[in-house]
Structure 1
Amino acid sequence: MAGSAQEARRMAPEFPLGRDGASVRQRVEAVEKLLERSFTLPGTNQPVGLDAIIGLVPVAGDAVGALMGLYLVWEARNLGMSKWQMTRMLGNVGLDTVIGAIPFVGLVGDFLFRSNSRNLKIVRKHLDKHHPGSRVIEG
């Protein structure tokens, strides 16, 4: 049994715990992918994440989605991002939560308004400017 646990740890992706720009970038990108683009809906080629799935649960799903979205805002605060950037990010999470709370409309809103993707874009822009060593060339 101990061998299989060690093997599972080796196969699991590394989740960086550092406070440097590169570690923060990897964490926020991983959380955004989990919340917005975990898998693709069959037949639609539309990426869907945990945020849309838990949004199906009335009230509690939207609250949990908001809390998970606030993780990106917390990381932004730890980076020392400006109050304006933080306000924009909080507004994105708030708007996503309000739209998600509307029955049926909220389901469509989760596909059209991806607050976590918007917030990732804000964090990436800050990291590119203030922590250029954390940039990743995407192909």
Structure 2
Amino acid sequence: MEKPRPIDRNMFSRMGEGLPVGSDARSVRRRVEALEHLLERLFVVPGLPKPIGADTLLGLLPVGGSFVGAAFGAYMVWEARNLGMSKAQMARMMGNVGVDWLLGLIPLVGIIPDYFFRSNTRNLRIIRRHLDRHHPESVTIDG
């Protein structure tokens, strides 16, 4: 379990800094990892075993939050398409997004599956596996 850390007041202003705009594998990896971090692991709430991200918070908005979360998930699938991933991999990723979207449509209760299912983390794992196999030069070491 991650230790709680104080909220950095400048966190949101720095989020987009340094994100590459290129279409090469390394740039795509950094963008997708940053998006997954924003959606699934933005901050830690003391007492909860997993961090919370914007996807869970969007679940608080009735219906619209689920659609916004699905749009972010679809963006990750679009990035996967640009990497040349197979249709089967992209279908699996869209299935993850679809399940997350459907479960998020349930009023109030939809937040719980959003917290546990984490479709963006699952999709990031699929993208990383593809990048590690087909673009090993894009691997970065977190410091």
How does the TM-score come out when normalised to structure 1? 0.88
Q: Is the 8 A contact 2:70 2:101 kept in 1?
A: yes
Aligned residues: 131
Partner deviation per Cα, 1:20-73 (whole Å, 9 max, x = no partner): 111110000000000000001123242000001011111101011100111100
% same residue: 59
Rounded Cα–Cα distance in structure 1 between residues aligned with 2:15 and 2:34: 16
Whether 2:21 is the aligned partner of 1:17: answer yes
Secondary structure of the corresponding residue to residue 40 of structure 1 = coil
Structure with greater helix percent:
1
Judging changes above 3 Å, is the alpha-carbon distance between structure 1 residues 77 and 112 closer, same or farther for their aligned structure 2 residues?
same
Q: Pairwise mapping of residues 19-38 of structure 1 onto structure 2 (< 5 A)?
A: 19-38=23-42
Pairwise CA distance, 1:84? 0.2
Displacement of 1:11 after TM fit? 9.8
Q: TM-score, normalised by structure 2?
A: 0.85
The structure carrying a bigger strand percent of its residues is 1
Aligned to 1:99: 103
Q: Could you tell me how far apart the structure 2 residues matched to 1:107 and 1:62 are? A: 10
State how far apart, in whole Å, the 2-side matches of 1:65 and 1:44 are: 21
Query: 1:70 aligned to 2:74?
Result: yes
> For 1:84-95, what aligned pairs fall within 5 Å after superposition?
84-95=88-99
**Structure 2, unaligned runs of 5 or more:** 1-12
Separation in 1, partners of 2:100, 2:50? 18
Structure exhibiting the larger radius of gyration computed from Cα positions = 1
RMSD: 1.9
Letter in 2 for 1:111: Y
Deviation string 1:68-127 (CA, Å, 9 cap, x unpaired) is: 111100100111100000000000000000111112331110111000000000000000
Unaligned 5+ segments in structure 1 are 1-8
| 60-69 or 9-18: bigger deviation | 9-18
